[in-house]
C-alpha cells in the first residue's frame, strides 16, 4: 500500500554498507542455491509446465519469404486435420517483433508486411501440441514475394550503411582531439578490420507463454528477464491498462538478452486466448527461437591505434557497422568500453547500420563489449607483438588515471590487479612470446590474454520485506521478500536471501524469497548485469527500513542494533554526532542530507525515524537487553511488519565511471595437420565490487568464459543469401561449446569494495567475463601458429 514505510536511496554520494556492521554470516559465502533442490527435483515450475484447465496449444507459423506481403492465409488448408481449433492471425499485433532501442517498444504494429524469413504471421490453435504443429506445417499462405529486393548480403549492403539514431541507442558517437591526424602523425600505427558474425543467445528454455484471461485481466506465465518493462510492452501492444496485465515468471531457464523484451508468442497467445476464451500455451521450437526472437548483430569493426615506440597510445579509433531490420533503432554498441579502457587524447567512436532482411537484432549477453572487445583486445595483442612488448605491459602503459573521454574518476578500477593475479595463477611468466614456436606432438601450443570490462549500471528498483510470525520456523518468525525481479538461472533467489538473512539476523531457511511476478514491487529485472545491484538494493533497503522500525519499537538506536539469530541487541556505542547533525538540520531532512550522514558516519536513518529523533529520551542509550525478534513481531497488529525499499541511480553514475574489470588468459592447442583448435585451459580474474556469493559469481564467470570459447571458435548464425532463411537454426547446426569443448576454467574474484555503486558496494559480474574472452583465445591461436584471423569465428579452415 501507499502508506508502507519506505526506505529510499538515490546514489548521489558514496554510502557506507551495513554489511560492514552486520553479523554478515552469509553475504559473500559460496552457499548453494536455495532453489537448487526444487530445480533438480522438478518442483520448480517453468512457464511451459504450469497447468491450467481447458488449455489449448498454439504453434506459430513463420513467413517463408524474406520480403513481401501476405496476400492470403487459407485456413481451409487445415480442413480434415483432427483437433485443430482455429487459425488466429492478427496482423496488427504479432507480425513483427521489435526491440527498438533495446527494450522499450511493443512488437511493431505492421499490417501484412514481411520483413524477414521466419517472421510470425499466424498461430494455429489445436487441442494438442502435435495437432497444432501439423496444422502450422500445413497452413497455406499466399505471398506477394519480393525476396529478390531483399537485403541479404551484408558485404554488398555495406555501401548503404547509414547513421544510427543515437538517441535510441545505448552508446553514442564520440570524437575527441583529431584522430585522423593523430593516426597520421603517430610513430607506430595499427589499422585493422574485424568481422564478427550474428549469434543467438541459445538459452536452454525456449521462449514460451501460457496466456489466460480472468474477465478483462490478462495473465501471462512467460519466460522473461524483465517483468516490469515487459508488462509495459504488453500493455502498449494490446492497449490495456496496468491493472489488466500480470506477468509471471517464477523460474526462467536463461535469457542472455533474448528475453529482455516481449517475444511474438506472448502477444499471439494473449490474442488467441481472448478470442477462444481458453488458456493458450505457445512454446517456441528451437528453430522459432532462432528465427523469430532476436540475434546479436554481426559487426564490421575498424580499430586504428596510433602510439609511440614505447606503445603509449595517443590515438584510438573504433568504427562499427552492425545490422538490423529496416526501421529498427537498436545497434550493437561495440565501443562501450572503448571510451575508457585505454588512454589516448585523440579518440573516435562511430556507429553505422545496415538494413537487412534478417532476424531482428538486439541485445545478447554483454551487448557491446562481448564483440567490441574482441576487436580492441586482438588489436592490442597485435600491437604488442609489433612492438615486442608483453601484452600485459602494453596494457599497463596505457592505463588511464581517469576516464579519458569524460575526464571523470573511476569509482574503482582494478584492471592491473586482475591482469597480475590472473597472470600469476596462469603462469604467464613461463610464456613463449614467439609465435609458432611450441610443438607438442602433433599440436602447436599457444597462450594469449585479453582485458575485460563491462559497464556497471544501477536501475530503479523496489522490493517489499515483511517479518511475520511463523511457528513452523525454529525462531518462530520468518521474512517474506517480494520483488518482480527474475531469477534467470543466475542465482537471484539465493543472493537476495543472503542479503535479507544477514540484515534481518535470520538463518537462510527463514527467508521466503518471492520473485518473478509483476504483482510484486517493480524491479529492474535481469539485464545488463544490473540485476543483483538494482533489485538487490531494493531488498537491502526494505530490510534496512525494517531494522530501523524494529529498533524503534524496542527503544534502541538504529545505528547500534545487531540482529543475529533472531535476537536484537545493542552493540557498540550509538553515534551521537550523527544524531546531533540530524537534529541541526531537523527542519528538512532532504534525501541528500541523509545520504551525507550515511557517508560520514556509516549510519543510515529512515526518514520516519529521523522525524522522531527529537524524542531521544525514547531510546535507551545503555540497553544491554536482548529481544527475541519473534516477540517483537508478535507485538504488531496482525503479527507482522512490512516495509519497502527503493533504489534510484543518482549522480554517482555521472560523476564516476563505473565498470567491472577483468582479464582472461587462455592456452590453446592447434593440430598441425587439420588445424583443429582446442582450448586447453583458461584463467579469468575479475573485480566486481563486493561479491554476494562466491559460488554463483564464479558460475557467472564460467558462463562468460564458455561464451568466449563459442564466440572465438564456433558460434555463427548463417542466413542463406538467396532467401534469408536460417541455414543453422538449431543446436545441431549452430554450435555452442559442449562439455568436450570446455576445459579447466579457473576463476579468481579479485577483492574490491565500491561505495559509489549501491549500498551493497557490488558491481555487475554476469557479463564481465565474456568481454574479451574470445580475444584471449584468438590471441592464443596466434601465439600457437602465427596466424591472425580477423573474421570470427576462427574455424580451422581459416588457419590452413
Ligand atoms: Mo543482458 S544481454 O542485458 O540479458
pLDDT tens track for 172-221: 999 999 999 999 999 999 999 999 999 999 999 999 999 999 999 999 99
Beta bridge partners of 443: 440, 671
In angstroms, what is the span from residue 696 Cα to ligand 1's centroid?
A: 17
Given phi > 0 = left and psi -120 to 50 = alpha, else beta, which region is 342?
beta
Using the atom order of ligand 1, give the atom closest to the CA of residue 366.
2
User: For the domain bounded by 157-199+296-456+655-798, which CATH number is listed?
Assistant: 3.30.365.10
Residues in the chain: 800
- Residue-wise pLDDT for 111-126, tens only, equals 578 899 999 999 999 9
Class of domain 6-30+459-649: alpha beta
pLDDT greater than 80 at residue 100: no
Q: Which of 170, 207, 223, 257 should be mutated for ligand 1, with most atoms under 8 A from CB?
A: 257
In angstroms, what is the span from residue 695 Cα to ligand 1's centroid?
A: 21
Domain spans, the chain: 6-30+459-649, 47-149+207-283, 157-199+296-456+655-798
User: How many CA within 13 A on the CB side of residue 304?
Assistant: 20
Assess contact for 199 and 296: CB atoms under 8 A: yes
In angstroms, what is the span from residue 100 Cα to ligand 1's centroid?
A: 15
pLDDT number for residue 609: 42
Percent of the chain at pLDDT > 90 equals 84
What would the mean pLDDT of 750-759 be, rounded to a whole number?
A: 98
- Residue-wise pLDDT for 577-622, tens only, equals 655 555 454 333 344 434 443 443 333 434 444 444 444 455 555 6
In angstroms, what is the span from residue 486 Cα to ligand 1's centroid?
A: 13
Torsion of CA 720, 722, 723, 727, to 10 degrees: -20
Q: Treating both helix axes as pointing N-terminal to C-terminal, what angle do 227-238 and 264-276 enclose, rounded to 10 degrees?
A: 50
Using the atom order of ligand 1, give the atom closest to the CA of residue 528.
3
Using the atom order of ligand 1, give the atom closest to the CA of residue 767.
1
Q: How far is CA 470 from CA 122, 374, 509, 614, 634, in A?
A: 50, 53, 12, 35, 10
pLDDT greater than 70 at residue 2: no
The residues that are catalytic are: 767
Q: Which residues contact 711 (CB under 8 A, 6 or more apart)?
A: 196, 199, 370, 371, 374, 770, 773, 774, 792, 793
Centroid of chain to Cα 655: 23
Instruction: Tell me phi and psi for residue 203, to 5 degrees.
Output: -65, 145
pLDDT number for residue 599: 42
Question: Which stretch of 323-332, 637-646, 697-706 has the lowest confidence by average pLDDT?
Answer: 323-332
pLDDT greater than 60 at residue 373: yes
Architecture of the domain delimited by 47-149+207-283: Alpha-Beta Complex (3.90)
In angstroms, what is the span from residue 359 Cα to ligand 1's centroid?
A: 18
Using the atom order of ligand 1, give the atom closest to the CA of residue 526.
4
pLDDT greater than 60 at residue 102: no
What would the mean pLDDT of 129-157 be, rounded to a whole number?
A: 97
In angstroms, what is the span from residue 134 Cα to ligand 1's centroid?
A: 34
In angstroms, what is the span from residue 31 Cα to ligand 1's centroid?
A: 25
Q: Which of 333, 456, 527 should be mutated for ligand 1, with most atoms under 8 A from CB?
A: 527
Q: Which residues contact 137 (CB under 8 A, 6 or more apart)?
A: none
Residues with beta carbon inside 6 Å of ligand 1?
225, 255-257, 260, 363-365, 367, 527-528
Using the atom order of ligand 1, give the atom closest to the CA of residue 365.
2
What would the mean pLDDT of 215-240 be, rounded to a whole number?
A: 94
What pTM value is reported for the model? Answer: 0.93
CB atoms within 10 A of CB 14: 16
Would the CATH topology of 6-30+459-649 be identical to that of 47-149+207-283? no
In angstroms, what is the span from residue 530 Cα to ligand 1's centroid?
A: 9
In order, the DSSP letters of 512-580 are EEE-SBTTSPP---S-TT-HHHHHHHHHHHHHHHHHHHHHHHHT--TTTEEEETTEEEE-S---HHHHH
Using the atom order of ligand 1, give the atom closest to the CA of residue 364.
2
Assess contact for 327 and 360: CB atoms under 8 A: no
Using the atom order of ligand 1, give the atom closest to the CA of residue 259.
4
What would the mean pLDDT of 559-580 be, rounded to a whole number?
A: 79
574 or 31, higher pLDDT: 31
pLDDT number for residue 24: 73
In angstroms, what is the span from residue 456 Cα to ligand 1's centroid?
A: 13
Query: Do β-strands 439-440 and 245-248 pair in parallel, antiparallel, or remain unpaired?
Result: unpaired
The predicted complex's ipTM stands at 0.97
- Residue-wise pLDDT for 628-641, tens only, equals 999 999 999 999 99
Assess contact for 455 and 474: CB atoms under 8 A: no
Query: Do β-strands 511-514 and 477-482 pair in parallel, antiparallel, or remain unpaired?
Result: parallel
CA-nearest residue for atom 4, ligand 1, is 257
In angstroms, what is the span from residue 365 Cα to ligand 1's centroid?
A: 5
- Residue-wise pLDDT for 327-347, tens only, equals 888 999 999 999 999 999 999
Assess contact for 710 and 374: CB atoms under 8 A: no
What would the mean pLDDT of 129-142 be, rounded to a whole number?
A: 97
User: How many CA within 13 A on the CB side of residue 681?
Assistant: 10
Using the atom order of ligand 1, give the atom closest to the CA of residue 255.
4
Q: How many distinct helices (H) and strands (E) make up the chain?
A: 19, 29
- Residue-wise pLDDT for 396-411, tens only, equals 999 999 999 999 999 9
Band (pLDDT 50/70/90 cuts) for residue 101 is very low
Burial bucket for residue 587 (CB in 10 Å: 0-12, 13-18, 19+): exposed
What is the pLDDT of the chain when averaged over all its residues? Answer: 92
Query: Can the peptide bond before residue 793 be classed as cis, meaning omega within 30 degrees of 0?
Result: yes
pLDDT greater than 70 at residue 238: yes
C-alpha angle 696/702/704, rounded to 5°?
A: 110
Amino acid at each position: 500500500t501507499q502508506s508502507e514505510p519506505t526506505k529510499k536511496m538515490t546514489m548521489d554520494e558514496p554510502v557506507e554498507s551495513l554489511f560492514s556492521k552486520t553479523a554478515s554470516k552469509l553475504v559473500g559465502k559460496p552457499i548453494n542455491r536455495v532453489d537448487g533442490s526444487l530445480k533438480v527435483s522438478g518442483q520448480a515450475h517453468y512457464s511451459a509446465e504450469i497447468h491450467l484447465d481447458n488449455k489449448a496449444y498454439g504453434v506459430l507459423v513463420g513467413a517463408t519469404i524474406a520480403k513481401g506481403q501476405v496476400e492470403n492465409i487459407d485456413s481451409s488448408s487445415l480442413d480434415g486435420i483432427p483437433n485443430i481449433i482455429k487459425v488466429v492471425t492478427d496482423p496488427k499485433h504479432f507480425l513483427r517483433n521489435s526491440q527498438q532501442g533495446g527494450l522499450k517498444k511493443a512488437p511493431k504494429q505492421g499490417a501484412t508486411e514481411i520483413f524477414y524469413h521466419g517472421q510470425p504471421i499466424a498461430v494455429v490453435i489445436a487441442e494438442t501440441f502435435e495437432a497444432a504443429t501439423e496444422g502450422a506445417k500445413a497452413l497455406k499462405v499466399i505471398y506477394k514475394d519480393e525476396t529478390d529486393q531483399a537485403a541479404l548480403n551484408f558485404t554488398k549492403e555495406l555501401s548503404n550503411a547509414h547513421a544510427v539514431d543515437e538517441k535510441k541507442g545505448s552508446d553514442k558517437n564520440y570524437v575527441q582531439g583529431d584522430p585522423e591526424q593523430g593516426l597520421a602523425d603517430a610513430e607506430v600505427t595499427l589499422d585493422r578490420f574485424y568481422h564478427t558474425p550474428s549469434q543467438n543467445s541459445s538459452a536452454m528454455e525456449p521462449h514460451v507463454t501460457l496466456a489466460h484471461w480472468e474477465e478483462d485481466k490478462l495473465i501471462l506465465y512467460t519466460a522473461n528477464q524483465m517483468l516490469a518493462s515487459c508488462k509495459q510492452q504488453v500493455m502498449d501492444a494490446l492497449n490495456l491498462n496496468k491493472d489488466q496485465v500480470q506477468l509471471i515468471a517464477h523460474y526462467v531457464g536463461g535469457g542472455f538478452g533474448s528475453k529482455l523484451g516481449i517475444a511474438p508468442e506472448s502477444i499471439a497467445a494473449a490474442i488467441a486466448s481472448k478470442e477462444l476464451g481458453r488458456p493458450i500455451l505457445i512454446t517456441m521450437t528451437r528453430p522459432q527461437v532462432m528465427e523469430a526472437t532476436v540475434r546479436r548483430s554481426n559487426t564490421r569493426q575498424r580499430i586504428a591505434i596510433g602510439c609511440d615506440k614505447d606503445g603509449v597510445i595517443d590515438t584510438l579509433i573504433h568504427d562499427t557497422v552492425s545490422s538490423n531490420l529496416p526501421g529498427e533503432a537498436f545497434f550493437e554498441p561495440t565501443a562501450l568500453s572503448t571510451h575508457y579502457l585505454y588512454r589516448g587524447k585523440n579518440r573516435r567512436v562511430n556507429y553505422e547500420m545496415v538494413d537487412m532482411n534478417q532476424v531482428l537484432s538486439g541485445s545478447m549477453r554483454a551487448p557491446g563489449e562481448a564483440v567490441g572487445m574482441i576487436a580492441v583486445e586482438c588489436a592490442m595483442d597485435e600491437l604488442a607483438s609489433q612492438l615486442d612488448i608483453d601484452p600485459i605491459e602494453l596494457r599497463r602503459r596505457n592505463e588511464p588515471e581517469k576516464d579519458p573521454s569524460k575526464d571523470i574518476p573511476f569509482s574503482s578500477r582494478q584492471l592491473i590487479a586482475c591482469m597480475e593475479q590472473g597472470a600469476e595463477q596462469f603462469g604467464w611468466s613461463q610464456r613463449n612470446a614467439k609465435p609458432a614456436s611450441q610443438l607438442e606432438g602433433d599440436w602447436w601450443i599457444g597462450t594469449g590474454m585479453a582485458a575485460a570490462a563491462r559497464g556497471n549500471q544501477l536501475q530503479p528498483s523496489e522490493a517489499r520485506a515483511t517479518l511475520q510470525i511463523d511457528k513452523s520456523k525454529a525462531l518462530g518468525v520468518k521474512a517474506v521478500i517480494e520483488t518482480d525481479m527474475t531469477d534467470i538461472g543466475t542465482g537471484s533467489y539465493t543472493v537476495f536471501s543472503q542479503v535479507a538473512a544477514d540484515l534481518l539476523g535470520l538463518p537462510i531457511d527463514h527467508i521466503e524469497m518471492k520473485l518473478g511476478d509483476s504483482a510484486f514491487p517493480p524491479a529492474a529485472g535481469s539485464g545488463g548485469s544490473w540485476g543483483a545491484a538494482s533489485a538487490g538494493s531494493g531488498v537491502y533497503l526494505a530490510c534496512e527500513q525494517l531494522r530501523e522500525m524494529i529498533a524503534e519499537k524496542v527503544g534502541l538506536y538504529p545505528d547500534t542494533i545487531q540482529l543475529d539469530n533472531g535476537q536484537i541487541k545493542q552493540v557498540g556505542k550509538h553515534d551521537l554526532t550523527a544524531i546531533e547533525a540530524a537534529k541541526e538540520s531537523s527542519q528538512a531532512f532532504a534525501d541528500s542530507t541523509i545520504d551525507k550522514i550515511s557517508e560520514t558516519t556509516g549510519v543510515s536513518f529512515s526518514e520516519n525515524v529521523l522525524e522522531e529523533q527529537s524524542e531521544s529520551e525514547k531510546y535507551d542509550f545503555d540497553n544491554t537487553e536482548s529481544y527475541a525478534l519473534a516477540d517483537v513481531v508478535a507485538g504488531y497488529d496482525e503479527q507482522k511488519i512490512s516495509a519497502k525499499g527503493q533504489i534510484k541511480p543518482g549522480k554517482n553514475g555521472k560523476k564516476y565511471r563505473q565498470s567491472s574489470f577483468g582479464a582472461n588468459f587462455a592456452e590453446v592447442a592447434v593440430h598441425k595437420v587439420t588445424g583443429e583448435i582446442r582450448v586447453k585451459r583458461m584463467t579469468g580474474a575479475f573485480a566486481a565490487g563486493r561479491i554476494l556469493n562466491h559460488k554463483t559469481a564464479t558460475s557467472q564467470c564460467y558462463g562468460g568464459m564458455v561464451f568466449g570459447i563459442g564466440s572465438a571458435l564456433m558460434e555463427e548464425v548463417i542466413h542463406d543469401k538467396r532467401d534469408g532463411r536460417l541455414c543453422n537454426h538449431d543446436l545441431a547446426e549452430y554450435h555452442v561449446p559442449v562439455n568436450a569443448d570446455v576445459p579447466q576454467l579457473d576463476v579468481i574474484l579479485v577483492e574490491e569494495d565500491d561505495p559509489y555503486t549501491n549500498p551493497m558496494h557490488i558491481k555487475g559480474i554476469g557479463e564481465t567475463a565474456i568481454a574479451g574472452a574470445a580475444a584471449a583465445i584468438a590471441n592464443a591461436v596466434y601465439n600457437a601458429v602465427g596466424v591472425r584471423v580477423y573474421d570470427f569465428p576462427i574455424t580451422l579452415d581459416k588457419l590452413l
